[in-house]
Structure 1
Amino acid sequence: MRTALTRRALLAGAALGLAGGPGAGVPAGADPVGRRVALVVGNAAYARFPALKNPRADAEDVAAALRALGFETAALTDLDRDGFAAALGAFASTLAGADVALFFFAGHAIVDRGRQYLVPVDAAYEDDAASRRDFVETDAVRDLMAAVRGVRILVLDACRNEPLRLRDDPGGGRAAPRPASGPDAPRGTVTLYATAGLDVAEDGDARNSPFTAAFLARLPEPDLEILPFFRAVGRDVTDRTGGRQVPELAFTVGDAVRLNPSGSDAAGWARVGASGRAADLRAFLALHPASPFVDAARRRLADLSAGN
């Protein structure tokens, strides 16, 4: 669950938690842009959970940035259980032959018996059976992405606490959530959590949450491999929140990948050049200030502003 901060547990001695299997790491290597696909979900208008301020804007801004980086991107907001299932089914149909797949979620999430669940906007906050029936298990999303021949990336701007367990057994033990990119994850899976296990993530008062703001702010850095990129995002979130929110990175051995590699401006321009979305063009200009397509992007943006 994303919520205003009340109490935070810090990871002692670390600005970013890491979890991985034996020998986990992502080796350096060539990173052709290849075919890259993304599903971005932002849930805010909850019926039985507190409504959230940022996830719609988080989803819109992340989707615009990913399109500008050349990702085939679907962006959806306020998905109920059926809508979430349909979105994942449509996403699955894009994965065959993809070199990189990315799933981004902003909204409420809970942990129940060590498993993390993403919360659709119509989900009930009731019991263990409801969490299995109405929520979307992170592992199910990860397993869906196993069809990708390259790297699978999950970015989860959501909480990882156990509200059901704490409500039903306030004095009981808490099961640490099992990372979606733990030792049993498919090779080449990387997951960045907005917060540490058994903790909560801020929604924030600005347009974007502290986590999504840090994620977007780092994207313009060219040719930064995914693990250093995510570690930098983690440090930034920790700094932005005064140490109250500490992201966690989990990964298995996989190929090197860069979200903003050399050549991504050409792939991005192919996605947004004919776009009718000013946000996509603004994201392109922010991410590729030295691109030869900058003048064309500015002209297209001016045309849109003028109503052409």
Structure 2
Amino acid sequence: MRTLTIIVSLMCMALSVSAAKADRRVAFVVGNGAYKNVAQLPNPPIDAKAMASTLRNVGFEVIEGSNLTRDQMTEKLLDFGRKAQGSDIAVFYYAGHGIAVSGTNYLLPIDADIKSEMDVKLGAAINVDLTLDQTMGDAKVKLVFLDACRDNPFAAKIKSNSATRSVNVGSGLAEMKSGEGTLIAFATGPGQTALDGQEGNNSPFTRALIDNITKPGVEIQQAMTSVRAQVNEETHKGQLPWGHTNLIGAVYLNQAPTTQVANAAPTATAAP
């Protein structure tokens, strides 16, 4: 009986290794905090480092960076886009300042110096929609985590320099819709702001992601339900993560061995 147990365990391990090799996973993980022209954020680099480690532990190749300028972010994104082509799962994680202008979301490099809407749209910030489309467009499963819903540090400047016409500048990030095979998760609801957390620690949203998304045998949408509950409780109902999903199958970042044996195949996504 003991021999049979050992054989079954070895089969589970072999199937797990085989699935991991076949299941190509790539992640972009960046945390920006050392801003040059606005108040700094102490925790995003810490958040990014922890998230990168979490994803590497479940088989992701991680393109990682902290405190990146516009040119450095572009370089990392180009690398990510090349490696994410045709991947089974692509993850995009960003922590730091983000802004919404006229309903479009932008991520801020640490050298951003934004005085007007024109600065935003002509390249001082990173257009989220365009970036995701160009880097993750043909990945089978696309998971996007944006811990960037802090107060817009450039809102007053943009508004004061747009006196001739109305410009909608949000305090948080704007709502986004996900395409097929995509899950998008925000630290808080559209137009709202999220907490950065205690200095030297992870933000409530990133801590909840790390605690839940790679639990063995937990499907990603089930994990995100736990993320929302954890953040809501930790912030005493002051912050509730929000998201949109168009996943068309079950997605596991850390599949349980028993499920691997049953399917005997890579499972970035399974038929519903």
1:97 shift after superposition: 2.5
| Change in 2 beyond 3 A, CA 1:74/1:173 | closer
1:112 shift after superposition: 0.7
1:130 aligns with 2:108: no
Structure 1: 5+ residue stretches without partners: 1-31, 264-308
| Change in 2 beyond 3 A, CA 1:69/1:253 | closer
Larger helix fraction of residues:
2
- Which residue number corresponds to residue 266 of structure 2? none
**Normalized against structure 2, the TM-score is what?**
0.77
- Which residue number corresponds to residue 179 of structure 1? 175
Structure 2: 5+ residue stretches without partners: 1-18, 161-165, 258-272
Aligned partner letter, 2:206: T
1:211 aligns with 2:205: yes
Rounded Cα–Cα distance in structure 2 between residues aligned with 1:189 and 1:173: 27
RMSD of aligned residue pairs (Cα, Å): 2.5
Q: Deviations over 1:251-283 (max 9, x none)?
A: 1243321122135xxxxxxxxxxxxxxxxxxxx
Give aligned-pair identity as a percent.
32
Q: Deviations over 1:4-31 (max 9, x none)?
A: xxxxxxxxxxxxxxxxxxxxxxxxxxxx
- Which residue number corresponds to residue 140 of structure 1? 130
Out of 27, 35, 54, the residue aligned to residue 65 of structure 1 is: 54
- Which residue number corresponds to residue 182 of structure 2? 189
Size of the alignment, in residue pairs? 230
Which structure has more relative contact order (CA 8 Å, sep 6+)? It is: 1
Q: Deviations over 1:185-242 (max 9, x none)?
A: 4311111100111111111115111111111111452121111111211111111111
**Normalized against structure 1, the TM-score is what?**
0.68
1:44 aligns with 2:40: no
Out of 141, 151, 157, the residue aligned to residue 141 of structure 2 is: 151
- Which residue number corresponds to residue 17 of structure 1? none
SS at match of 1:87: helix
- Which residue number corresponds to residue 216 of structure 2? 222
| Change in 2 beyond 3 A, CA 1:165/1:134 | same
1:261 aligns with 2:255: yes
| Change in 2 beyond 3 A, CA 1:202/1:223 | same
1:200 aligns with 2:193: yes
Aligned partner letter, 1:38: A
- Which residue number corresponds to residue 239 of structure 1? 233
- Which residue number corresponds to residue 300 of structure 1? none
Out of 92, 101, 106, the residue aligned to residue 112 of structure 1 is: 101
| Change in 2 beyond 3 A, CA 1:80/1:226 | same
SS at match of 1:187: coil
Rounded Cα–Cα distance in structure 2 between residues aligned with 1:83 and 1:60: 17
1:145 shift after superposition: 3.6
Rounded Cα–Cα distance in structure 1 between residues aligned with 2:68 and 2:167: 33
- Which residue number corresponds to residue 11 of structure 1? none
